[in-house]
């Protein structure tokens, strides 16, 4: 075997990732070797030869697309091709592009060490060679390291032992044998029906039931084939920008919004298609536990209708995780197999395995145990997913730090591609990338293309080939990597994924840190991010060459993912600018937009009424009463809308939400609008509302003396100023003030106006439009317009102030919180990371806003708790 001593690139792994990367590297003239532990290509499809092994993404889509010739030269025989066929496909690719010659088979990478002086990796193999290279790529797969079974006595059995992930190449004949299968994940679910067809007795030991959807395998989908034949490039481009790597429109149907019959009809339709389509049956199943449970029950009904024995059926019904939060399985006759007389399910939740013996398996307790005798045990116990193969190699980066110790508390990567401290080290489909949540053929190609561009860039900026030693090094910055980890978590946390004890969370391997490993933000958005990193001059990377050095430190995504999605959607609507409208038109536009919002939670009662302004003019309010027994404390709420737009019902969903969370009555009070009624009319209307509510608290079902003010944006400005006026007038007493993204200073020149003046719904120009309608320039420094500028900020009610990172008003809200605190008031400042001026009020749209609305509810409750305590002390 010829091994170059000094290569441009070493790749570990000859699955689809390693094969395609080798091709790309060779095309660029890079000297490259691939190290592969197996004796052939194929990776996953080389190792996993158990009966029934096949893909669960339609194979028309589980296809590499880098060469248009592949579309015509290879045809899949089935909708979900079998392992032998996919392995042949990998071999076909390796042969077609002459890749075999670049691969060292039966060669395991054992150690890789970065040599800072030489700017090279030294890679040691189990054959004793050390290969030196500029760039080191782990294309070792997310599901390639089988998990060692964590069962007492697992190595004691003296009969035949098989692992689904290391199935003998010559096949296994189970005819006439008593067979145990341990595990009920995807591999078990695929293989159990086929093993049952051979075995004399089959006993399945199940720790956790998984959801499985029928595959309805057959000929490749004609519709998809026709689309690909019509224009493969368009089809593949759509896949690349899709959420999961397979083209298709996302459904607009929400499980919660449908009637039982409608929901069932849609479910039946998707069940009849089969497979992972079920993940897209409704658009709310991965974000709402309630929606998910509706779907789970429909699937459980199917299981109960297939499996005759009710105890077995119930044991097969998953109840400990929402559907989709563990990878759903796709099967052929899995559940029906349990109707066969020689197949038995042992539920390990009631009868745990105590030990594996020389001849079989013992379960239960000493008093009530059972002993099983077997000829063969099949372990279908899964993988040490996503990180196992990476830390399985002893990789040492800069300053002697190993990947294993650096990732001891969980992997940290930038984009799932690179990691701090490990220059010129790349991972294909690493943790923090969409990987196992996607059609991996698409994700693999995208990663390989990105890594190829990076390596080419290192050669180019280093000046290699231009007579110098050349080659640059690349490494992510701490800032970029940390922020990527935060973004990956933000994405996961708006879904139900983290609820499940899944291998996505590392929960299947004892001692493995629990964190959500893949990037849930979607294949398309992820691709956009990776491209943007490059377009922005390799944002978040330090690139060093002999004669140049660049550190473009920064963060690629800070906005909350759901907020970002709403902004993107709004951008596609190309909505007219509010400031280009007349106030009348703007009001109509706003109420039309409001009509499309989800309604918010149910409250006990909603009552509309009027109260008199200072000059007797009747103004409208809307009262939201909690469903709990009263009387309740009362919050006088002032809506947002820049003193020009909105009314007592315009913040309806938000007011309902506040009502439920605070268990207080919310009185959303109107105030007269500019430009018809300019400053200070609205301020005095605010004071009139507070005074009237305080006087009528009992009539409204409230607790006298327990009245707070709250508001959003311009409404928060009214609330804040009302607190000043009430203090100066000696009442009414205010228990607290809740100010969400308040206007506190009309000078509009803070840094946040510049940073966030465009692109986040409330723009600087819209704010100027509002302000110009509301108030004359000469009055803008009045404390009744800009409470931050008030000479006296002492003796104001306790305040909770919420500011948002991407809000032009952020800095003035922050300044007001500081000023109130300096003046001796109690202040709680909540800074909402990744949010905009409008996002926290978007109830049932922006999930990442929930925790902040919880805090707002808690703030109101604490105002009143304090008020009632001090009243009691006073009494």
Ligand X SMILES: Cc1cc2nc3c(=O)[nH]c(=O)nc-3n(C[C@H](O)[C@H](O)[C@H](O)COP(=O)(O)OP(=O)(O)OC[C@H]3O[C@@H](n4cnc5c(N)ncnc54)[C@H](O)[C@@H]3O)c2cc1C
Instruction: Summarize as ranges the residues that interact with ligand X (CB under 6 A).
Output: 12-18, 35-38, 43-44, 46, 48, 53, 55-57, 62, 108-109, 139-144, 187, 389, 392-393, 428-429, 439-440, 444
The DSSP code for 383 is B
Q: Are strands 130-138 and 120-125 parallel, antiparallel or unpaired?
A: antiparallel
Min dist. Cβ of residue 132 to ligand X (A): 17
Nearer to ligand X, 140 or 750 (CB): 140
Of 18 and 653, which CB lies nearer to ligand X in the complex structure?
A: 18
Which is nearer to ligand X, 276 or 313 (by Cβ)?
276
Smallest separation (angstroms) from ligand X to the CB of 832: 36
Supply the minimum distance, in Å, between the C-beta of residue 361 and ligand X: 24
Could you tell me how many residues make up the chain?
875
Q: Which is nearer to ligand X, 392 or 715 (CB)?
A: 392
* Least distance in angstroms from the C-beta of 393 to ligand X: 5
Using the minimum distance from each CB to ligand X, give the nearer residue, 202 or 444.
444
CB of 523 to ligand X, least distance (A): 11
Q: Write down the least CB distance from residue 712 to ligand X, Å.
A: 44
Let me know: does 352 contact 155? Beta carbons within 8 Å. no
3 state DSSP class of 575: coil
The nearer residue to ligand X, 15 or 360, going by C-beta atoms, is: 15
Long-range contacts of the stretch 351-358 (C-beta < 8 A, 24+): 353/151, 353/152, 353/182, 353/205, 354/152, 355/151, 355/152, 355/153, 355/156, 356/151, 356/152, 356/153, 356/154, 356/156, 356/157, 357/153, 357/156, 357/157, 358/156, 358/157, 358/158
Q: Long-range contacts for 20-23 (Cβ within 8 Å, ≥24 apart)? A: 20/64, 20/66, 20/93, 20/444, 20/445, 20/448, 21/137, 21/139, 21/428, 21/448, 21/451, 21/452, 22/99, 22/102, 22/103, 23/66, 23/97, 23/99
Give least dist CB 166 to ligand X, A.
Answer: 11
Specify the residue, 15 or 462, whose C-beta has the smaller distance to ligand X. Answer: 15
Shortest reach from residue 131's CB to ligand X, in Å = 12
Place of tokens 């030294």: 122
| Shortest distance, position 19 Cβ to ligand X, whole Å | 7
CA 830 to chain centroid: 23
Q: Is the peptide bond before 345 cis (omega within 30 degrees of 0)?
A: no
Prior bond of 680 cis (ω within 30°): yes
**Minimal distance, residue 39 CB to ligand X, in Å:** 10
Nearer to ligand X, 13 or 521 (CB): 13
Q: Is 629 helix (H, G, I), strand (E, B) or coil?
A: coil
How many CA within 13 A on the CB side of residue 195? 34
Angle at Cα 218 formed by Cα 215 and Cα 219, nearest 5°? 135
Nearest residue (CB) to ligand X, 228 versus 353: 228
Q: State the Cα angle at 92 between 87 and 95, rounded to 5°.
A: 125
Residue 628, judged by CB atoms within 10 A of its CB (0-12, 13-18, 19+), counts as: exposed
* Residue 641 structure tokens: 């809308």
Please give the backbone phi and psi of residue 344, each rounded to the nearest 5 degrees, phi first.
Answer: -135, 140
141 closest CA partner among 330, 381, 384: 384
**Smaller CB separation from ligand X, 101 or 350:** 101
CB 386 → ligand X: shortest distance, Å? 10
Q: Decide whether 46 or 863 has the Cβ nearer to ligand X.
A: 46
Measured distance CA(126)–CA(393) in Å, rounded: 11
**Residue 146 or 715: which CB sits closer to ligand X?**
146
278 vs 444, which CB is nearer to ligand X?
444
β-partners of residue 605 are 625
3-state secondary structure of 797: coil
Q: Which is nearer to ligand X, 148 or 845 (CB)?
A: 148
Of 443 and 744, CB closest to ligand X: 443
Q: What are the beta bridge partners of residue 612?
A: 618
Rounded least distance, CB 259 to ligand X, Å: 34
- Closest by CA position to 630, among listed 656, 579, 664: 664
Angle at which helices 440-462 and 16-27 cross, to 10°: 30
Task: Please name every residue paired with 621 in a beta bridge, in sequence order, or none if there are none.
Answer: 609, 669
Pick between residue 428 and residue 762 the one whose CB is nearest to ligand X. Answer: 428
Residue environment code for 534-554, b if the CB has 16+ CB neighbours within 10 A, otherwise e: eeeebbbbbbbbeeeeeeeeb
**Smallest distance from the beta carbon of 415 to ligand X, in angstroms?**
16
Tokens coding 25: 């590297």
Residue 25 Cβ vs ligand X, minimum distance, rounded to whole Å: 15
CB of 12 to ligand X, least distance (A): 5
How does strand 425-427 pair with strand 130-138? parallel
**Distance (Å, whole) CA 531 – CA 54:** 32
CA angle 352, 353, 355 (to 5 degrees): 150
Query: Nearer to ligand X by C-beta: 143 or 496?
Result: 143
Reply yes or no: is the peptide bond before residue 779 cis, omega within 30 of 0.
no
Residue 128 CB coordination number (10 Å): 7
Nearer to ligand X (CB atom), residue 187 or residue 839: 187
Question: CB neighbours of 565 closer than 8 A, spacing ≥ 6?
Answer: none
- With residue 273 as reference, give the H or E element that holds it: helix 260-273
Q: How far apart are CA 799 and CA 318, in angstroms?
A: 46
Q: Tell me the closest approach of the beta carbon of residue 391 to ligand X, in angstroms.
A: 10
Question: Which helix (H) or strand (E) covers residue 738, if one does?
Answer: strand 737-740
CB of 137 to ligand X, least distance (A): 11
Decide if 249 contacts 60 (C-beta within 8 A): no
Say how far apart CA 105 and CA 865 lie, in whole Å.
71
Residue 190: CB minimum distance to ligand X, A: 8
């Amino acid at each position: 075997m010829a091994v170059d001593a000094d290569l441009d690139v070493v790749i570990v792994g000859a699955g689809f990732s390693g094969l395609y990367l080798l091709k790309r590297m060779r095309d660029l003239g890079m000297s490259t070797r691939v190290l592969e532990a197996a004796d052939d290509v194929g990776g996953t499809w080389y190792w996993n030869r158990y009966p029934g092994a096949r893909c669960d993404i339609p194979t028309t889509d589980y296809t590499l697309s880098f060469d248009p010739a592949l579309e015509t030269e290879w045809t899949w025989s089935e909708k979900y091709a079998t392992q032998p066929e996919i392995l042949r496909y990998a071999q076909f690719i390796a042969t077609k592009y002459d890749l075999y010659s670049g691969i060292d088979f039966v060669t395991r990478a054992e150690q890789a060490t970065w040599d800072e002086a030489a700017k090279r990796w030294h890679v040691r193999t189990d054959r004793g060679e050390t290969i030196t290279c500029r760039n080191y790529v782990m294309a070792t797969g997310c599901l390639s390291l089988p998990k060692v079974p964590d069962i007492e006595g697992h190595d004691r059995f003296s009969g035949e032992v098989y692992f689904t992930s290391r199935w003998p190449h010559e096949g296994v004949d189970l005819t006439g044998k008593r067979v145990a299968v341990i595990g009920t994940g995807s591999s078990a679910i695929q293989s159990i029906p086929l093993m049952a067809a051979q075995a004399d007795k089959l006993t399945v030991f199940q720790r956790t039931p998984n959801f499985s959807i029928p595959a309805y395998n057959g000929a490749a989908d004609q519709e998809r084939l026709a689309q690909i034949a019509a224009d493969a490039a368009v089809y593949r481009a759509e896949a690349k920008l899709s959420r999961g790597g397979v083209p298709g429109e996302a459904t607009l149907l929400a499980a919660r919004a449908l009637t039982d019959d409608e929901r069932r009809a849609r479910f039946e339709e998707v069940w009849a298609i089969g497979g992972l389509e079920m993940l897209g049956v409704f658009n709310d199943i991965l974000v709402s536990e309630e929606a998910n449970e509706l779907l789970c029950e429909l699937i459980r009904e199917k299981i109960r209708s297939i499996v005759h024995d009710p105890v077995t059926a119930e044991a097969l019904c998953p109840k400990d995780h929402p559907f989709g939060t563990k990878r759903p399985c796709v099967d052929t006759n899995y559940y029906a197999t349990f109707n066969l007389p020689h197949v038995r399910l042992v539920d390990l939740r009631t009868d745990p395995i105590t030990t594996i013996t020389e001849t079989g398996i013992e379960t239960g307790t000493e008093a009530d145990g059972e002993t099983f005798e077997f000829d063969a045990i099949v372990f279908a116990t899964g993988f040490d997913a996503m990180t196992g193969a990476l830390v399985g190699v002893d990789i040492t980066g800069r300053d002697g730090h190993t990947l294993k110790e650096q990732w001891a508390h969980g992997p940290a990567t930038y984009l799932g591609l690179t990691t701090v401290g490990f220059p010129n080290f790349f991972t294909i489909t690493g943790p923090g990338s969409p990987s196992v949540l996607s059609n991996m053929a698409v994700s693999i190609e995208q990663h390989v293309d990105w890594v190829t561009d990076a390596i080419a860039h290192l050669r180019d900026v280093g000046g290699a080939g231009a007579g110098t030693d050349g080659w640059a090094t690349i490494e992510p910055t701490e800032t970029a990597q940390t922020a990527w980890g935060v973004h990956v978590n933000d994405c996961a946390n708006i879904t139900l994924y983290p609820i499940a004890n899944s291998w996505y969370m590392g929960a299947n391997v004892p001692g493995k840190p629990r964190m959500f490993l893949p990037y849930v933000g979607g294949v398309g958005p992820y691709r956009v991010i990776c491209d943007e990193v490059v377009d922005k001059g390799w944002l978040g990377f330090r690139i060093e060459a002999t004669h140049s050095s660049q550190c473009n430190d920064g963060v690629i995504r800070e906005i909350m993912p759901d907020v970002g999605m709403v902004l993107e959607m709004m951008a596609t609507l190309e909505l007219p600018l509010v400031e280009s409208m007349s106030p009348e038109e703007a009001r109509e536009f706003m109420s039309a937009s409001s009509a499309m919002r989800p309604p918010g939670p149910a409250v006990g009662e909603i009552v509309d009424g009027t109260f008199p302004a200072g000059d007797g003019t009747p103004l409208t309010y809307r009262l939201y009463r909690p469903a709990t027994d009263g009387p309740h404390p009362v919050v006088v709420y002032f809506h947002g809308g820049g003193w020009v737009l909105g009314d007592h019902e315009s913040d309806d969903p938000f007011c309902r939400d506040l009502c439920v969370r605070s268990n207080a009555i919310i009185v959303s009070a109107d105030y007269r609008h500019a430009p018809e009624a300019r400053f200070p009319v609205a301020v005095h209307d605010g004071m009139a509302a507070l005074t009237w509510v305080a006087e009528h608290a009992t009539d409204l079902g409230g607790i006298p003396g327990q009245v707070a003010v709250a508001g959003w944006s311009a409404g928060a400005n009214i609330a804040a100023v009302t607190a000043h006026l009430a203090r100066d007038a000696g009442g009414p007493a205010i228990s607290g003030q809740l100010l969400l993204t308040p206007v506190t200073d009309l000078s509009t020149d803070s840094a946040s106006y510049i940073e966030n003046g465009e692109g986040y719904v409330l723009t600087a120009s819209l704010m100027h439009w509002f302000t110009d309608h509301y108030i004359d320039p000469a009055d803008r420094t009045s404390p009744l317009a800009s409470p931050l500028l008030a000479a006296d900020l002492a003796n104001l009610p306790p305040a909770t102030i919420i500011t948002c990172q991407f809000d032009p008003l952020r800095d003035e809200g922050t300044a007001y919180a500081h000023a109130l605190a300096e003046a001796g008031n109690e202040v709680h400042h909540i800074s909402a990371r990744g949010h905009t001026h409008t996002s926290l009020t978007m109830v049932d749209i922006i999930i990442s806003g929930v925790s902040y609305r919880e805090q707002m509810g808690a703030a109101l409750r604490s105002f009143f708790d304090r008020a009632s305590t001090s009243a009691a002390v006073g009494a």
